């Protein structure tokens, strides 16, 4: 397998894993989450809030967890945009000057 083909295969695998993680972060579609977990394993840690915690603390913990998952979901989407842009560049078959490439979302991804 040539280097560009290996690169495309690796990017494709990375894209698949990123999409799987995004599917697991977005729990609005239970079937998609279950399918992703069956195919790639569970990619998220369990979050436990002590049963003895006050109701307000439980609500605050749930709110913070939701915010963190939302931030992670945005980062993953940015990473997928970068992978898609890299794939597009590689598939063009021309010489790629990585020092000059600008990808949508890369600044946000690197800053996060």
**Averaged pLDDT for residues 96-102:** 64
Name the helix (H) or strand (E) containing 61.
Answer: helix 55-91
Q: Which of 14, 13, 16, 20 is nearest to 73 (CA)?
A: 20
pLDDT category at 68 given cuts 50, 70, 90 is confident
* Residues contacting residue 57 through CB under 8 Å, at least 6 positions apart: 49
- pLDDT of res. 110: 63
Of 14-28, 36-50, 79-93, the range with the lowest mean pLDDT is: 36-50
The parent domain of residue 29 ranges over 3-111
Share of the chain above pLDDT 90, in %: 0
Q: What is the mean pLDDT of residues 82-110?
A: 70
What confidence score (pLDDT) does residue 105 get? 60
Q: 26 and 37 in contact (C-beta within 8 Å)?
A: no
Task: Give the integer Cα–Cα distance in Å for 1 and 101.
Answer: 25
Q: What is the pLDDT of residue 29?
A: 78
Q: How many domains does the chain have?
A: 1
Global pTM reads 0.58
């Amino acid at each position: 397998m040539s280097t560009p083909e290996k690169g495309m295969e690796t990017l494709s695998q990375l894209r698949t894993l990123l999409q799987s993680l995004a599917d697991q972060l977005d729990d609005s579609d239970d079937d998609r989450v279950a399918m992703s977990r069956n195919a790639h394993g569970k990619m998220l840690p369990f979050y436990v809030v002590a049963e003895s915690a006050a109701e307000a603390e439980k609500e605050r913990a749930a709110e913070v967890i939701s915010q963190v998952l939302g931030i992670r979901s945005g980062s993953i989407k940015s990473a997928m945009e970068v992978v898609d842009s890299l794939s597009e560049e590689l598939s063009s078959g021309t010489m790629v000057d990585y020092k000059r490439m600008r990808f949508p979302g890369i600044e946000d991804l690197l800053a996060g």
